Amino acid sequence: MNQRTGTLWKRYGTALILILAVLTTSHFIESHAIRKAQADAEVINLSAKQRMLSQKIVLHAQAFIIDNEPEDERQLSDTVDEFERAHQNLMQDAAREESLGGLYLARTPSTDEIVVNFVSIARAIPTSPYPEALFDELEFKGTGIVLERLDEAVVAYDARAQKQAQWVHRLQEITLLIAAAVIILEALFIFLPAQRLVRRGFEKLRAMAETDPLTRLRNRAGFERDMAEAMSDRDHEVQSVTLVLLDLDDFKGINDRHGHITGDAVLKTIGERLARLPNLVSTARVGGDEFALLVDNSNWENSFSPDGITADVRECMDYVYRPIEHNGLVIDVSGSVGVSRYPHDAANLIDLRRNASAALLDAKKSGRASISIYDSRIDEIVRQKRIIQSALLSGEYEQNLSVCFQPIVELSSQTIKSVEVLARWQHSELGSLNPELFLAIARECGLGDKIETRIRALALEQMAPSLNAGSVESISINISPVDLATQGFANALFEQFATYNVNTAQVWIEVTETERLTSRATVRENLEALSAAGVRIALDDYGVGYSNIQRLAELPIQRVKIDKSIVWNIEQDRKYAGVFRSSIQLARALGADVVAEGVETPGQLTEAMRQGCKFVQGYLFFKPLPAAECIPHLGQRLSAAA
């Protein structure tokens, strides 16, 4: 009996030792998995920091290119240094077996090569003669491939982590079966809490990878997951949702005026307010100053009235864009909003994103605090833009691009003193295209400089004989602020004048009245170089832009062209007549002469003459004409058109 009891005790002891060994081994395996998850969580935080820094690098680079200020260069350099240090830490993590850093390097070409290239481009921008070209690549990598690589690594790790969790779960089940007969209470107290801890660790890890570190909203990767889940077919019923994209107006100005710490506080406050809005499926910060909302359409199911939706969105934006108080400052904020609805005007996730982006762009073109809902009009704009982009990239435009000339008439002599060059493109499908439209799209495609150079070449070639013969005193050429902000542009323009034997004193350049024109050192350098060589400078479309008296006085402006939107109203509106009169007085004070644009009626002409306007331009005298029709009028005394 005693022997049997001793044997039973030995057997029980052996079984207990085996069970304790299994429990201990399982415990150490689970502890190792938890420590590994914690280590990977630190790397996830590092990758989240890299994503944020890559976007800051792009913002600082854009600020430097726009303003060319030493402070912007310093901030760009500091951010690049911080980004590079974070990258080196991630590279050190790559040595750890099955690490996130290892996954980060797994693809070919190596992500390390891509990041090194991204850093080198960012460092090269302050010294590059063509920073805009480098910026396009920097933005492509910083907001595209670098983020994609980081997100791919996180997704790959997540899949591996899920398999590891499944394996740990199976181990726990086996251990539970072995231990259940003897120490079920101990098993319940050990394994289930451990399982919950591991699961929470993995869930926290994934949440960190899909969260914006500044606002604590979803980031782009997390928002994409939420959209895909919301639009999935659940029980054969498609959930109706609306994507709302928001872009803050002049956020760069907030950073410039109050500093980036205040700018970050503004973003956090906007994020907090957005998160409180009703019917939200998901809320995210998807770019530097861009936010996204996914909204349940349950309140709009019976009516997709754009006016009703606009009113609802406007009410929400009135709440979100209330003034923000920070450290004693009161900061006014506003933003543009683009809206697209699924499945009302989008068949899939790609269409929903594209349509919302197109609506946001349409809203931004309409001015501050605008709201645009995607509709057939925007769809047509997008379609036309794709057609124009295709024609530009294929070179189809070269056969149909042309120029015409609109005379500028001196009132005292009733003769043509100058001709303004206007671009024309007769597209085979879309017909006559608006120059502002196709030139803006050309700049987006990286062809703006090539096409504008071609337009100048056509104009100089066709008008050079008349200029050299003295039939007309000068030619007036529109120059974009983008060109003026390019290093060496003045010298390139001089070479083009020399090619067609046109004297610099015979050339006016017309520059658009924009904030960009008067805020960059490179713009002033080019204008001063042109002015010193005899080229005369005219400010175009005055009265509808951003110029103030101080900025106008700083620039070598010799002519002010009052915008046609003012001239058209001077007969019937005393306020416009007052603006017209004060604009002429301002130009005289600056030592500049005045051209009244868009003169179409005898009454407008009479008012222009009464106010002492020296030159006029408009349909009352001439519409834009091809060179063959314009040249015969040069040198002749004119009368206004009937």
Give the Cα separation of 600 and 642 in Å (integer): 10
Give the pLDDT confidence of 348-360 residue by residue, as tens digits: 888 889 899 889 9
- Which residues are CB-contacts of 501 (< 8 A; sequence separation ≥ 6)? 464, 468
pLDDT at 22 over 80: no
Q: Which amino acid is at 183?
A: I
Q: Which amino acid is at 50?
A: Q
Count of the separate structural domains present in the chain? 2
* Domain limits for position 281: 220-374
In a domain? residue 336: yes
Q: Which of 350, 374, 398 is the last residue of a domain?
A: 374
In a domain? residue 364: yes
pLDDT of residue 294: 92
CA distances from 444 to 172, 290, 438, 440 (A): 58, 20, 10, 6
pLDDT of residue 72: 78
Q: Are 314 and 332 in contact (CB under 8 A)?
A: no
Looking at the fold, whether 104 and 191 belong to one and the same domain comes out as: yes
Give the pLDDT confidence of 536-592 residue by residue, as tens digits: 999 888 876 555 566 666 778 889 888 888 899 988 888 888 888 988 888 888 888
Give the pLDDT confidence of 227-250 residue by residue, as tens digits: 888 887 654 566 788 999 999 988
Closest CA to 32 of 163, 149, 168: 168
Q: Which of 209, 236, 255 is the last residue of a domain?
A: 209
**CATH number of the structural domain spanning residue 356:** 3.30.70.270
Give the Cα separation of 59 and 56 in Å (integer): 5
- Which residues are CB-contacts of 290 (< 8 A; sequence separation ≥ 6)? 245, 246, 247, 248
Looking at the fold, whether 181 and 105 belong to one and the same domain comes out as: yes
Give the pLDDT confidence of 396-446 residue by residue, as tens digits: 888 888 999 999 999 888 899 999 999 998 887 888 888 888 888 888 788
Looking at the fold, whether 92 and 167 belong to one and the same domain comes out as: yes
Looking at the fold, whether 62 and 142 belong to one and the same domain comes out as: yes
